[in-house]
Amino acid sequence: MTVRRLPALGVLAVLLAGCGIRATEVPTDFGPAPSRVRCSLAEPDTTTRTAPGIAVRVFLLCGSSLVAVDRTVRVPDGAADSQRRVLVAQGLLDELAEPPSAAEKEAGYTTDVRGGTAVKGPRPGDPEDALRLGTAPDDLTSYALAQIVCTFADSAAAEGDGSVILGGPGDGPPRRYSCTDEVRARPGSNEPPSTEVTAG
């Protein structure tokens, strides 16, 4: 009788072994497995390193965050400091509006800054380090505003304290915008915080 029970016990053991993972009614669809690493270039873009001009960084969109990439901006020699700031800012805007390279597109980079955006220096009554955009900051998408603020704040166009003073083409006073960790992490959900400024 013991011999006859052995096959039955073997079958029972196999059936019980398959019950290690219990079924669940909770959806577990996490999407397809990633096929490649996004937001990471396979190798540096040599065109940006060899192009003449000032080495700068601009913030592009990748996934739901901002990622810094290297660029160059050309500024004429002998430009005054105030003029140089505006020239750098315009060069940065132009780079932000430029479509990402083929390698950057492959890695998932995009931009929300539209071409043709202009920037000028301060008006009378503005702080001396203010920049006036051709499009009011309130009229930009949260993504584009975050790109511009973080790019300017990290450049010679600003004072180097992680913020930049921006105004629009209208008569409204400019405001100081800050590039925070939250803005860089989720620019679509967190607009750059801003405060009113007075002429200095």
- pLDDT reported for residue 53: 80
pLDDT at 142: 96
- Residue carrying the six token digits 């011999």: 3
- Residues 6 or more apart whose Cβ sits within 8 Å of residue 163: 149, 153, 176, 177, 178, 179
Looking at residue 43, what is its pLDDT? 58
Give strand pairing partners of 120.
132
Residue 71, beta-bridge partner list: 56
Residue 42 is predicted with a pLDDT of: 61
Q: How many residues does the chain have?
A: 200
Q: How far is CA 110 from CA 32, 62, 175, in A?
A: 22, 6, 27
- pLDDT for 10 equals 53
Chain mean position to CA 145: 10
Q: Which run of H or of E encompasses 65?
A: strand 65-73
The pTM of the full predicted model, rounded to 2 decimals, is 0.77
Tell me which residue has tokens 């990402």: 100
pLDDT at 14: 45
Q: What is the pLDDT along the chain (200 residues), one digit of tens a residue?
A: 544 554 554 544 444 444 444 444 544 444 444 434 478 776 555 444 445 688 999 999 998 899 999 999 988 887 777 788 999 999 999 999 999 999 999 999 999 999 998 999 999 999 999 999 999 999 999 999 999 999 999 998 887 788 999 999 988 899 999 999 999 999 999 999 999 987 65
Which residue is associated with the tokens 């430029």? 98
Inter-residue contact 159 to 129 (CB < 8 Å): yes
